[in-house]
Amino acid sequence: MDFVSVILGSKSDYEVMKKCIDVLDDFSVKYEIIISSAHRSPQRTKEYIKNAEQKGAVVFIAAAGMAAHLAGAVAASTTKPVIGVPLSASKLQGVDALYSTVQMPSGMPVATVAIAGAANAAYLAMQILALKNEKLDKQLKEDRVKKAKKVENDSATIEKIL
């Protein structure tokens, strides 16, 4: 059973990451979501990743703020793709988490989305799943058509072309 695993560093990350869950729900994609911290519960994080892989996790999404080492810690424990979501949780407004998440050493990649890029983390995870899932690939292509149509419709409400 292929699924997406979403790991949050803290319950305080949930409000932003709800957008990620909403997108996965919209596309009826299977996921697990748990809270586990790289710093506060490193053993739980490691054990969870091992179990999730055995159950069929195909891609991991790890979201954390401040000195955000969660995505890197996940990447250290799996060779499945890891998507990192840096979050704003301090006076540095997410730049701290962005640098902590994106600056991985060679050979240990984390595909880092924008600060608070919860929805894009879900889309990227689905694009990875869609490599082996034609139905999901079709859904994603249809979604792109819908998005392009919305641009045209929005423009039509205000546009003036000479």
| Residue 59 Cβ vs ligand RP5, minimum distance, rounded to whole Å | 19
Please select the residue that binds ligand RP5; options are 37, 45, 101, 112, rule is CB under 6 A. Answer: 37
Residue nearest to ligand RP5 (CB): 9
6 binds ligand RP5 (CB under 6 A): no
Nearer to ligand RP5, 74 or 87 (CB): 87
CA dihedral 109, 113, 116, 119 (to 10 degrees): -120
122 binds ligand RP5 (CB under 6 A): no
| Residue 1 Cβ vs ligand RP5, minimum distance, rounded to whole Å | 27
| Residue in the structure block whose two tokens are 């892989």 | 53
CA angle at residue 72 from 70 to 77, to 5 degrees? 95
- Contact region with ligand RP5 (CB under 6 A), list: 25-33, 62-70, 110-118, 153-161: 62-70
84 binds ligand RP5 (CB under 6 A): no
Please select the residue that binds ligand RP5; options are 4, 6, 17, 64, rule is CB under 6 A. Answer: 64
89 binds ligand RP5 (CB under 6 A): yes
Please select the residue that binds ligand RP5; options are 10, 41, 77, 93, rule is CB under 6 A. Answer: 10
Number of residues that bind ligand RP5 (CB under 6 A): 10
